[in-house]
Amino acid sequence: MNLGKNISAVINRACKSVVRIYTSSSVGAGVIVSNDTLIITNAHVIEGGPRIKVETIGGKILNAFLVVKMRRYDIAFLFIKNSQLGSEVTVIKLPDKISYSVGDTVFAIGHPQGLNHTVNRGIISAVDRKIVSGNFPFKIYGLNWIQTDTPVSRGHSGGPLINEHGEMVGLNTWIANSTDGKGINFSLPSRYFKPWISYLKDYLNPKKRINRLLCPVCGSFSSLERYYCTFCGAKLNFDIRRKELLHKLKRTPLV
Ligand SMILES: [Zn+2]
């Protein structure tokens, strides 16, 4: 097999799941993670205003609806109406199990400086990297990151880090912000957000019954009877917000 050609096909397929996301004052990348059409991005990518637009690889510009934003992980999920999309987009592949290690080749897809769908290559520099000290933003504490030397910049935020099989192993989230920090970049491993994707697919389907609540702050699940998250104490109103969102998407009447 011609490995070079194979990699090109893998990358081209993955590019079709990457979208550009922008608000009035912020821009970044996002990834289509389900066929109905749920998009993952960084929470900081959509901080720039309430109106969120998504641009596909084919240049279609669509309104996106915020489903949930979890600042603890710097993650947001958006939804766009899939009827507006054709075969120009694909759903990203997620790995079935954790199958990466230090030295693996990885690729980042994003839109640095307005250059849409720029693909950069690097390796995994460290796995399960915990940040305990240094000049890093506070939000990162308590998580295990994939460290990579793949060249990324602001426009890669919310975009995928993919392996040679085109599977999204991480979400490109932040870069070491110091003069000697070149080539020190961090992706949130997909094992963190995979459970939320399957949950949110049901959440956006009015025919599905939801039997647990997702905490919009810490991402843990609680039973329907709870008013507050058992893990972090945040107020749980996810079922109420679900009704409002489905109504806005004209998927169900608001009762
Ligand atoms: Zn919580």
User: What is the residue-wise DSSP string for 122-171?
Assistant: EEEEEEEEPP-SSS--GGGTT--EEEE-----GGGTTPEEE-TTSBEEEE
28-32, 80-84, 126-130, 205-209, range with the lowest pLDDT: 80-84
Stretch 126-135: mean pLDDT? 80
Residue 165 among the catalytic residues: no
CA of 161 to the centre of ligand 1 (A): 27
Q: What is the mean pLDDT of the chain?
A: 88
- Look at residue 132 and tell me whether its pLDDT is greater than 80: no
- Look at residue 146 and tell me whether its pLDDT is greater than 80: yes
Stretch 70-82: mean pLDDT? 89
Q: Per residue in 106-118, pLDDT tens? A: 999 999 988 999 9
- Look at residue 98 and tell me whether its pLDDT is greater than 80: no
Confidence at residue 137, expressed as pLDDT on a 0 to 100 scale:
60
Q: What CATH number does the domain located at 105-191 have?
A: 2.40.10.10
Confidence at residue 211, expressed as pLDDT on a 0 to 100 scale:
87
Band of residue 242 on the pLDDT scale cut at 50, 70, 90: confident
Residues 196/178, Cβ–Cβ less than 8 Å: no
Quote the CA–CA distance of 129 and 144 in Å, as a whole number. Answer: 5
Confidence at residue 84, expressed as pLDDT on a 0 to 100 scale:
67
Band of residue 20 on the pLDDT scale cut at 50, 70, 90: very high
Q: Domain extents for the chain?
A: 3-84, 105-191, 201-248
For strands 168-175 and 185-189, give the pairing: antiparallel
Q: How far is CA 168 from the centre of its chain?
A: 10
- Catalytic-role residue among 74, 117, 187, 222: 74
Between 133 and 30, the more confident residue is 30
- Look at residue 83 and tell me whether its pLDDT is greater than 80: no
Residues 6+ apart with CB under 8 A from 119: 11, 15, 107, 108, 109
Q: What CATH number does the domain located at 3-84 have?
A: 2.40.10.10
Stretch 98-104: mean pLDDT? 91
Confidence at residue 135, expressed as pLDDT on a 0 to 100 scale:
61
Residue 157 among the catalytic residues: yes
Residue 74 among the catalytic residues: yes
Q: Do domains 3-84 and 105-191 have the same CATH topology?
A: yes
- Ligand 1 ion: residues within 5 Å (CB): 215, 217-218, 229, 231-232, 234
